[in-house]
Structure 1
Amino acid sequence: MALFNRRSESSDGEGRQPVLSRHTEGREPVFDGVEVIEGYAVLRWETAVGGVGLAHNLRDGNGRPQSVISDLYSRHVERTSERYACVVVAQATTQVTEPYVPRLLACDIVGQHAEWSEQYETTWKQLSQVLGTPAPYWYATLRDPETIAAWRPGTPPAVVPACHVTNATTALAELAADEPDGSPAAQLCWGLARKIRRRDHESTTHDIEELRTNAEEGGDGAHLVLGAVPSPLRRAEEEEPSEMVRRAGWLAITERRDILAHRVADLSQQWDGGHDWHTGDFISVQPDTCKTAAEWAQRLMPADRGQAPTVLEKLLLDNARDAVSDELLHDPITGIPALRRKQRWAKDRPEDIFTLGLERLPTLAPLAAVTVSDGVTWIRTEDGQLWFAPARVGYGVSWGYGGTGTATLAQLLDRLLDDISAPAVQPREPDAPQGLFDLLRSTPQSGTTTYTRAQLAAARAA
């Protein structure tokens, strides 16, 4: 249990005893209902030690008692300390000593202006002693706000479809419902929604079984009740759509401008980082670093800022950190957006163009040359077009040292020499020929270096 800060000390200098540890005989605890504030559902009891609130985060599995107190103060102002002596937040994470029991973090309100003690950890047993009854817990996959608001002591567990609060599948279902039957976007959304729901159902069912075992053995889990259990799965497990269908679905969705597409894309980023999107990682280009970068920058066209952003445009705008100003652009060759931005803090690199690479090149023209400059790898094809080297999110390419980035670039060039439309390299794929790796490892990281197709082929054969 953590120590308290100075605000939690009594006027005579003696340490203040945590609210949940105080003697609780006397007033019979009374449940006072539920209030929803800024993403938390707070169940309140009036007890012998004052008002006690048990909060569940409706936006995340975990939460901070201090955040709940601040939100309560915004609603109740000076009356906050009259209504609450202590706030407890149920966590999705588990107790260290009992791995199948959810943690409880608490803070006591100690002043007239919603001042609080330092956060401390408590137990379900201790909380139940203060409340006079086992407290309810909702797994993060079962936190339906209306269900929590309707709870009363003695209420049997509600039956709720399992869906984690951070992975709400509503947008997937709504987007799929508006699509033509069998469209790649519809197949993708239904498949992902069912996959998420099944995973959440299975994980929650497992956790409940472990919690019940803990309770039967006399652990801390014996001192809580479940607010909800997952409803049965009524559909047999199916194979997910093929990779071709998934990629076609995301290609269609990422070009859309509506809010449903944005919500579905946000869920995808949380779920797997956009694994099946046609785009790769973010790329920053300074046009004045080399002729190749300047050539690419000159072909960009202004985007139409008079309409809502596409999914990819919004992704760039959301991730353009520290940008003072920006100009949305469009690459007519790849269809990928770009963002000309000025940085607030990077005075030595005041302006760049922020964009996304592709996971494979949409061309059949053979590779003619590769240029590396200022952290960017450029591919020139025989038809004269210029492309970023394909790379997956979190698995980029590099040169000038003997590490993973150089090995990945060598693997990529090895396959692009044979098939320009080959996909970006994934982890644990076969190594490239040693000669190609050695060429890239010895390439200076500074300045600009270009290798022709003949030079790359010679290195590969060495």
Structure 2
Amino acid sequence: MGVNSSYLSKSEVQAVLGVNAFGLWRLTRKYDDFPQPTEPPEQLSLLGDRKEPEEVWDGTRLYRWAARTLEFSHRGAVLLRPLPDDLPPGRWGGYRDTSRGPAQDWHTALGTIRFVHSDKRKTATDVATALAQAGNPDDVRTVCALYGDVGITGPALVAAEVAHPRIEYEAEWGDVAALAGQDLPWWPERLRLPELIRAWKPGSPAAVVEVPAHTNEMILRRVAHAAVFDVTSHLAVTDMANSIRNNRTDNIQNESETFAGAGPHETPNRIVAAAVPDTSHHPLRTGGDRTVLESGWHKLALSNHPDAVAALEVAIGREPDLLPYGAVTEVPASSGTVIERWARRLTMCDPTAAHAVLARGDTVDSFFLDPFTDMPVLRTAREGRTPTWRFYAPLSLPAGGAELASVVLHHTVWITTSDGQVHPAPCGPSEHLWWGDGWGDRPSEAAAVIDTLLDDLGATVNMREHWKAPKGLTALLNEDHKHGTELTRAALLHARMTPPRAR
């Protein structure tokens, strides 16, 4: 996406403009707006071995300048030159395959334009370069590709000439349409399929296309049809798969409205909608009973089936609140610390899908379960490094009539209780708990958790308004406490009721 940067040496500038060294010297004095030489980024990093880097010119700036300067317009960017008043209409030249995706050829008064329907970076340069290296058998003059954004007259374009394929520049959709003599076809990104572009010709109606399934949707549909999982898990994955499909269809419709809709001043862009999504069954049903969905995902998390692992990875990335797990947390397996005290109570177990997702592909020597919170835990075994405990933070703590006794700060926030237990502090899946100087940020998340647990050890913490945590608690946690620091209940209560001192 975007215009590829290119830099031209002095001899290359002379070749583009058709001048000798004296002619280039003359241009710098004749035209006040002539582009000044610069230093390319790659040369700036090599100055240690060179006293002065070679002068170079920004190829895009030079090519634009030439196109808009009467003396050199015939040497500049083709699609930036003034269009002739008596412009004859172009004609469609059919479909072409390229190394960077599907393309359409348009034979115009300024030569053949090859339009590649891709917004990947360097598309125009790569296709133009391939043509130049092959001797340009189709006599293409300019290659256009999609920029990935909206321009003034339609989708923004990137262009490169076969004569100078390294130099890319932005072009206007409306100018290419004027040269073609007709509105140009456009496909939404997810419907930009070679078979559709290959079948299009002027006058073709918009193809009605089933939205291609995303990989995540296919994973969930596979689980939904697997007899090994129960009905609640089927309902859970189907609900999420339908949501993914609905979102993709909505996004295509929004993209079409953005790119193929009216331009500035409500002037229609010169665009033919070449494909539209099939909405005959849109939207699919979603928003099932939350309790059922959570139950279904919890059962998948406890499964040891490979498809359950794949589905759980989708859920954690898309809607982690459906799972009974908080944020992923890592702490070193340190002896003589609060961490060791907590780890002594863990029970070894066979890995579940939740463990497999938690492992993230790392080598693991043992899998565990926290019997007090039911949180999956594992211990990584990285060669040459201290073993690490990795676990999901609990969403809440078991109360049982106990209260918060102290907070211990050791790589995360730990809660000790009046009945002698120690727990990782509860935390939502999208939050993290920390302390110390945050370079302007404040550890209000940890302060909000502690504030809630001081009143009710078993409460589920609402982190949505963590910035409203007591200022005194936030100020206490903003200090750079050493690992292992223990803050007693009395100290926490005192901080909660004491406004921080003004600095």
TM-score (norm 1): 0.71
How far apart are 1:228 and its partner, in Å?
A: 1.1
My pick for the range that moved more, 239-248 or 6-15, is 6-15
Give CA-to-partner distance per residue, 1:212-271, whole Å, 9 cap, x none: 65169674x632221211222536775613443333333334455666445544544554
Q: 1:288 to 1:262 in 2, by over 3 A?
A: closer
Question: What is the CA–CA distance in structure 2 between the aligned matches of 1:150 and 1:260, rounded to whole Å?
Answer: 37
Match of residue 230, structure 1, among 252, 269, 277: 277
Partner of 1:360, secondary structure, is coil
CA RMSD of aligned residues (A): 4.7
Q: Against the structure 1 CA distance between its residues 438 and 20, is the aligned structure 2 distance closer, same or farther, given a 3 Å change threshold? A: closer
Indicate the SS of the match to 1:187: helix
TM-superposed CA distance for 1:396, in Å, is 2.0
1:331 aligned to 2:394?
no
Q: 1:429 to 1:400 in 2, by over 3 A?
A: closer
- Cα contact 1:33–1:45 (8 A) shared by 2: yes
Show the counterpart of 2:392.
357
The count of residues paired between Structure 1 and Structure 2 equals 426
Cα offset, 1:381, TM superposition: 4.7
Q: Is 2:105 the partner of 1:52? A: no
Q: Is 1:30–2:93 an aligned residue pair?
A: yes
Structure 2 residue aligned with 1:102 = 155
In 1: Cα distance, 2:282 partner to 2:229 partner: 19
Instruction: Choose which of 232, 239, 250 in structure 2 pairs with 1:184.
Output: 232
* Structure 1 gap segments, 5+ residues each: 57-61, 321-325, 344-349
- Asked if residue 6 in structure 1 is aligned to residue 8 in structure 2, the reply is yes
Contact 2:444 2:466 in 1 (8 A): no
Question: Would the alpha carbon gap of residues 264 and 181 (structure 1) be closer, same or farther in structure 2, given more than 3 Å must change?
Answer: closer
Show the counterpart of 1:410: 447
Judged with a 3 Å threshold, the aligned counterparts in structure 2 of structure 1 residues 316 and 266 are, in CA distance, closer, same or farther, namely same
Q: Structure 1 residues 327, 192: closer, same or farther in 2, change over 3 A?
A: closer
Structure 2 distance, partners of 1:71, 1:423, is 60
- Structure-1 residue corresponding to 2:146: 90
Residues of 2 paired with 1:82 and 1:298: CA distance?
74
Q: Per-residue CA shift, 1:57-77, capped at 9, x if unaligned?
A: xxxxx532349838996xx99
CA distance in 2, matches of 1:108, 1:248: 59
1:65 and 2:122 are equivalent in the alignment: yes
Distance in 2, Cα, partners of 1:72 & 1:249: 53
Cα deviation, residue 110, structure 1: 5.1
Which secondary structure state, in structure 1, belongs to the residue aligned with residue 433 of structure 2?
coil
Contact 1:54-1:88 within 8 A present in 2 as well: yes
Contact 2:309 2:354 in 1 (8 A): yes
Name the stretch that deviates more: 20-29 or 165-174: 20-29
Q: Provide the rounded CA distance (Å) in 2 between the counterparts of 1:68 and 1:423.
A: 56
Q: Check if 1:387 corresponds to 2:423.
A: yes
- Unaligned 5+ segments in structure 2 are 18-62, 64-74, 499-503
Shift of 1:128: 3.1
How far, CA to CA, are the matches of 2:190 and 2:116 in structure 1? 18
In 2, distance between residues paired with 1:152 and 1:438?
67
- How far 1:375 sits from its partner (Å)? 3.5
The AA in structure 2 aligned to 1:373 is: L
Superposition pairs of residues 153-168 of structure 1, within 5 angstroms: 153-162=202-211
* Residues 128 and 184 (structure 1), Cα distance of their counterparts in 2 relative to 1, 3 Å cut: same
Name the SS for the 2:276 alignment partner: strand
Task: Say which SS state the counterpart of residue 222 (structure 1) adopts.
Answer: coil
Could you say which residue in structure 1 is the equivalent of 2:30?
Answer: none
Q: Which residue of structure 2 lines up, in the alignment, with residue 281 of structure 1?
A: 327
CA contact (8 A) 2:366 2:379 kept: yes
Matched, 1:249 2:306: no
**CA spacing shift, 1:355–1:80, aligned 2, 3 Å:** farther
Decide which moves more: 224-233 or 46-55. Answer: 46-55
Could you tell me how far apart the structure 2 residues matched to 1:303 and 1:130 are? 69
1:317 equivalent among 360, 373, 386: 360
Query: Secondary structure of 1:280's partner?
Result: coil
Q: Structure 1: how far apart are the matches of 2:199 and 2:411?
A: 56
Q: Deviations over 1:333-378 (max 9, x none)?
A: 22234434369xxxxxx64626243251464454554443343112
**Structure possessing the higher radius of gyration over alpha carbons:** 2
Secondary structure at 2:327 match in 1: strand
* Percent of residue pairs identical: 20
Change over 3 Å in CA distance of 1:212–1:135 after alignment to 2: closer
CA distance in 2 between counterparts of 1:407 and 1:315 reads 26
Q: Work out which of the residue numbers 415, 421, 428 in structure 1 matches 2:465.
A: 428
Pairing partner for 1:117 from 166, 173, 176: 166
Q: Say if 2:177 is the partner of 1:128.
A: yes
On the 8 A contact 1:42/1:54 being kept in 2, the answer is yes
Assess if the C-alpha contact under 8 Å between 1:47 and 1:131 holds in 2. Answer: yes
- Aligned residue for 1:45, secondary structure, equals strand
The secondary structure found in structure 1 opposite 2:15 is coil
**Taking structure 2 as the reference length, what is the TM-score of the superposition?**
0.66
State how far apart, in whole Å, the 1-side matches of 2:345 and 2:160 are: 57
Go from structure 1 to structure 2 and tell me whether the alpha carbon gap of 1:295 and 1:144 turns closer, same or farther (over 3 Å shift). Answer: farther
Which whole-Å CA distance do the structure 1 matches of 2:344 and 2:124 have between them?
Answer: 48
